[in-house]
Amino acid sequence: MNFKQISGIGGAAMILSSAVMTATILISFPYAEHFTIIEQAIAHIGTIIFAGVFKVGYVTYIVGRYERDLSC
């Protein structure tokens, strides 16, 4: 396996999910008055889902670094 590529995929997943998670949090709380209740509910659910994606990306990133004997 190419663990450098695995680390890259994990890092990309963390960056992408944190960007989407930031957007869902903004929709859910400070800008809620600009969105319907359905959109806010979807944003709340999206926050949970993308937090999970972030965690999976972090584990993937750490596994790739560990297998290459790099510091975690």
Digit-coded pLDDT (tens) for 34-65 = 999 999 999 999 999 999 999 999 999 999 99
Q: How far is residue 28's CA from residue 38's CA, in Å, rounded to a whole number? A: 11
pTM: 0.90
Backbone φ and ψ of 14, nearest 5°: -65, -45
Instruction: Output the pLDDT for position 72.
Output: 75
Instruction: Output the pLDDT for position 71.
Output: 85
Please tell me the total number of residues recorded for the chain in this structure: 72
Q: How far is residue 17's CA from residue 9's CA, in Å, rounded to a whole number? A: 12
Q: How far is residue 20's CA from residue 10's CA, in Å, rounded to a whole number? A: 15
